[in-house]
Chains A and B, each alone.
Chain A
Amino acid sequence: GAGVSQSPSNKVTEKGKDVELRCDPISGHTALYWYRQRLGQGLEFLIYFQGNSAPDKSGLPSDRFSAERTGESVSTLTIQRTQQEDSAVYLCASSFIGGNTEAFFGQGTRLTVV
């Protein structure tokens, strides 16, 4: 596609429910990143996918968070048993060949846990 596409744009969920966020990267981009941005804060790295290599999951804050990506296509970020502190904007980015090339961001998913 022309840009990184994320869905949904907004998600309100009840505490304890599971949510799934989707990211469709730019066509041909082998690298995909997920970040979390709390209100007024910087970007917190969550997970990085590069082609068919094992993902770098070092930023996932707990085992309630998981992500998948099949090949160089769509990625999903799943948060199980959501907590109020999970409320944030979740940003996805993709880049052509990894961290040494610029990353392009989607519009983000604003998650609110009530």
Chain B
Amino acid sequence: QKEVEQNSGPLSVPEGAIASLNCTYSDRGSQSFFWYRQYSGKSPELIMFIYSNGDKEDGRFTAQLNKASQYVSLLIRDSQPSDSATYLCAVTPSSASKIIFGSGTRLSIRP
């Protein structure tokens, strides 16, 4: 079982709709959770981080964490073509301070 799992996609969403990206993790004691966006040929950049159960909103982005289900998600409202990228879920496991990344979900926003 991978430590961090994501559906590789591609996920195609019409412009203006809500994009929902999901991630599960195996270590129940994981402490911190991150969403990064990576454009083709570029380095990952942080979008959101969340530490506590529940929702965290920042502009058009909402991160949701459910530790009981070991599940973290990212919602993108009013999707724009510029949101087309690969979204990487990352987790800090309980045993160490390193950050482990999932393989990413490719999101495509169609005009």
Chain B hits for A104, CB < 8 A: 46
Residue from A48, A91, A105 within 8 A of B96 (CB atoms)? A48
Q: Which of A11-19, A37-45, A70-78 contacts B (4 or more CB under 8 A)?
A: A37-45
Q: How large is the interface on B (under 10, 10 to 19, 20 to 34, 35 or more residues)?
A: 20 to 34
Interface residues of A (CB under 8 A from B): 31, 33, 35, 41-43, 45, 48, 50, 56, 58-59, 91, 93, 95, 98-108
Chain B hits for A106, CB < 8 A: 43
Task: Contact check, A42 vs B97: say whether CB atoms are below 8 A apart.
Answer: no
Task: Contact check, A99 vs B97: say whether CB atoms are below 8 A apart.
Answer: yes
Complex: chain B residue closest to A110, CB-CB = B41
A102 to B35, CA, bound (A): 10
Interface residues of B (CB under 8 A from A): 31-32, 34, 42-46, 49, 51, 88, 90, 92, 96-104
Chain B hits for A43, CB < 8 A: 44, 88, 101
Task: Contact check, A48 vs B98: say whether CB atoms are below 8 A apart.
Answer: yes
Query: If A99-B32, A102-B34, A106-B43 touch, does A33 touch B103 (CB 8 Å cutoff)?
Result: no
Residue from A41, A100, A105 within 8 A of B103 (CB atoms)? A41
Task: Contact check, A102 vs B49: say whether CB atoms are below 8 A apart.
Answer: yes
A4 to B54, CA, bound (A): 32
Taking the nearest CB of chain A, how far is it from the CB of B102, in angstroms? 6
